[in-house]
A = this chain, B = another copy of it.
């Protein structure tokens, strides 16, 4: 739009919008502040209503509640009601039903409502990020380090096969069948690699299978997958930028990621003692919770600082604190915080997923849909085979392990976003990756439930009310 404006228009454009933007922090912010709070509160109310409705409906249909939370997000999001939309999907304040409500209530001008929209979107995204950090912290608390190390080799094999198979199948297929150029094909292949640990572990927890052999292999593999995925991303991103791979950077990433996870667990054994000693000495409210939560945040920041995902740090913190005798009390304290923060993450993921790219009535979607179908087949097949890479575990449910690795979630979207921003991916390929991410995310929970159906469910109604570890440990 800007290039069509004349010089005078350009100047007045900046004076109208730019100046108000630059002084926002000192004057406008104070005026729009109450509306930002109202907008955030309304967003949260929407999140809780749709996540509870969706979750309960899923539960009634014998599906994992998290699926209902995702669908609830889709319904309030960019694909349907447009109540809760985000700038990442190209939406502006005028696309948001919530913002129209706030605007008509507060009689705000377009600059003010744009500020409210941006701030509310950032705030909800940050709350969602805190939600996924708490989720992985809780999963870490529920995962048993000794159980995990028992299945360590199997998890590593599953992870490596689960990265290599879809990557090779996807890249070769795109070049051979669709005659795609090599670098975009490699990028799309890379987008197929990383399992979403958040969705898989939530489903496992909901089904009461987090502590089973299958559950531990899946969680372990998903964690290693996340690390591998970040390495793959760094590799293909540098490929996209320079056309060649920076080997030194790859080595650095592999070493730092491994050193972080192993170092955290190793040092954690010593920290455990100090942690318990500190918590026992504190006499004010939150004596146990605040040190534990602070530790999770510190680990998340450290992970961030060495270019890993924050959630890996939170997961490692949970693993470490799981080894203390405060574990049960901590589970009980973290559960309500997870209850209010985690739904924000899942509803936000659903709200940001634009299912419009799936509409076959739009001609330009069709190429994308054909490529998407191919990517989905590869995404599923490439992960399902991983179950058969497990060795030395007779009677293990191989299908469940493979299916558990299917959901791509937010990690795949990161690939699509970076690929699109760097210009490597054209529109159909980007849309195809997004469709693949959405579909694998949505089909994995019911598929995993079906795959685990052969095995006895540990209990029925009340387990969702109690952190999964409680139920599991009761029966161990």
Which B residues touch A450, using CB under 8 A?
none
Q: Are A55 and B284 in contact (CB under 8 A)?
A: yes
Q: Are A340 and B290 in contact (CB under 8 A)?
A: yes
Instruction: Kindly state whether residue A88 has any CB partner on chain B within 8 Å.
Output: yes
A336 to B92, CA, bound (A): 36
A56 partner, pick from B37, B282, B294, B339, beta carbons under 8 A:
B282
Instruction: Kindly state whether residue A356 has any CB partner on chain B within 8 Å.
Output: no
Closest to A461 in B: B283
Instruction: Kindly state whether residue A455 has any CB partner on chain B within 8 Å.
Output: no
Closest to A298 in B: B45
Q: Are A22 and B25 in contact (CB under 8 A)?
A: no
Task: Label chain A's interface by main secondary structure.
Answer: helix
Instruction: Kindly state whether residue A374 has any CB partner on chain B within 8 Å.
Output: no
Instruction: Kindly state whether residue A178 has any CB partner on chain B within 8 Å.
Output: no
Copies of this protein in the complex: 2
Instruction: Kindly state whether residue A286 has any CB partner on chain B within 8 Å.
Output: yes
Q: Mark A341-367, 1 if CB is under 8 A from B, else 0.
A: 001000000000000000000000000
Asked if A293 meets B38 with Cβ closer than 8 Å, knowing A22-B21, A285-B464, A336-B336, the reply is: no
Q: Are B123 and A38 in contact (CB under 8 A)?
A: no
Q: Are A290 and B48 in contact (CB under 8 A)?
A: yes
A27 partner, pick from B33, B291, B421, beta carbons under 8 A:
B421
Binding site for B on A (CB under 8 A): 2, 11, 14, 17-19, 21-22, 24-27, 29-30, 33-34, 36-38, 40-42, 44-45, 48-49, 51-52, 55-56, 59, 65, 87-88, 90, 105, 118-119, 121-123, 125-126, 129-130, 282-287, 289-291, 293-294, 297-298, 300-301, 304-305, 310, 333-340, 343, 417, 421-423, 461, 464-465
